[in-house]
Chains A and B, each alone.
Chain A
Amino acid sequence: MDDQNASDDLETLTHVQHLKAAVHYTVAKICEETGEEKHQTFSRQSIATISELTYRQIGSFAEDLELFARHAKRSMVGIDDVKLLVRKSLPLANHITQLAETLSSGTEEKKKKKPQRRKKKVSSTDPELNYQDNSTVENID
């Protein structure tokens, strides 16, 4: 594997470094937030350690998510895979399930609109039918 990737190393290395830098930036911001809440300061080393930890954790998440999706015979990672990822801690699972519901409520509204339109069409055709029926009745008279 390493031999195959050796030629790409120079290109991917800078890409990985970019991503690690991005993670480091956000981790530093979150640590700053926490520090203000708890009246603490974070040493540079501790922030660097948390960001390295986070980067590796994301890698582990990626492997798990891919395997979950593959096990369900899908190539697309979905919401259910993420729910499976956080099964170990109940509060986090609840939080994620709640967030998933708020995210999917937007798409559900779109789905609800379609049947409503159908109903309107049916209701609009009904009076016409009635009218036609009446007219035929009138004609007969």
Chain B
Amino acid sequence: MAEELCEKLRTMAASSETTEINEPMTFKLKTIQEILKLHFKEKEKTRISGDALRLTTEVIRVFVKEASARAAMQAENSAEKEVTIEHLEKILPQLILDF
């Protein structure tokens, strides 16, 4: 029993270490800034602060993560190994409502 616990703790520690080392993939700030600029109505006037840009990038990262995770769950529930657009179609309305 004690050995099993030790092993479990070790694997948990290892997994937490790897998650700490591997930072979640995110967008380049410059990319997001360019796309935002492109969609501003008054392009010359409107600017975005550095912190606000970082927060917006995080929102977009969460959006993609949420979309992929929900689609993956939908695929899992229908006992399939690959996520297709059919799964995406099912989760899309609620996803858009949540953002």
B6 contacts partner chain A, Cβ-Cβ < 8 Å: no
Q: A38-B76, A46-B85 are in contact. Are A103 and B64 (CB under 8 A)?
A: no
Chain A interface, DSSP helix/strand/loop, else mixed: helix
> Which of A26-34, A115-123, A127-135 forms contacts with chain B?
A26-34
Specify the chain A residue showing the minimal Cβ separation from B54.
Answer: A103
- How many chain B residues touch A (Cβ–Cβ < 8 Å)? 53
Q: A57-B99, A82-B56, A100-B51 are in contact. Are A30 and B61 (CB under 8 A)?
A: yes
A76 partner residues in chain B, CB cutoff 8 A = 46-49
Specify the chain A residue showing the minimal Cβ separation from B56.
Answer: A82
Most buried by A among B37, B42, B67: B67
B63 partner residues in chain A, CB cutoff 8 A = 54, 57
Chain B interface, DSSP helix/strand/loop, else mixed: helix
A125 contacts partner chain B, Cβ-Cβ < 8 Å: no
B55 partner residues in chain A, CB cutoff 8 A = 79, 82-83, 96, 99-100, 103
What is the distance, in angstroms, from A97's C-beta to the closest C-beta of chain B?
9
* Cβ-defined partner of B82 (8 Å) among A42, A78, A83: A42
Chain A proximity mask over B54-88: 1 for CB below 8 Å, otherwise 0? 11101111111101110111011000011111011
New A-B contacts (14) at CB < 8 Å, excluding given A53-B67, A82-B52: A29-B25, A30-B24, A34-B68, A40-B72, A41-B81, A42-B82, A58-B60, A62-B36, A65-B36, A65-B56, A77-B48, A77-B49, A86-B59, A96-B59
Q: What residues make up the interface of B, taking CB atoms closer than 8 Å to A?
A: 24-28, 31-32, 34-42, 45-49, 51-52, 54-56, 58-65, 67-69, 71-73, 75-76, 81-85, 87-88, 92, 97-99
Q: What residues make up the interface of A, taking CB atoms closer than 8 Å to B?
A: 12, 15-16, 19, 22-23, 26-27, 29-31, 33-35, 37-38, 40-43, 45-46, 49-50, 53-55, 57-59, 61-63, 65-66, 69-70, 75-79, 81-83, 85-86, 88-89, 92, 95-96, 99-100, 103-104
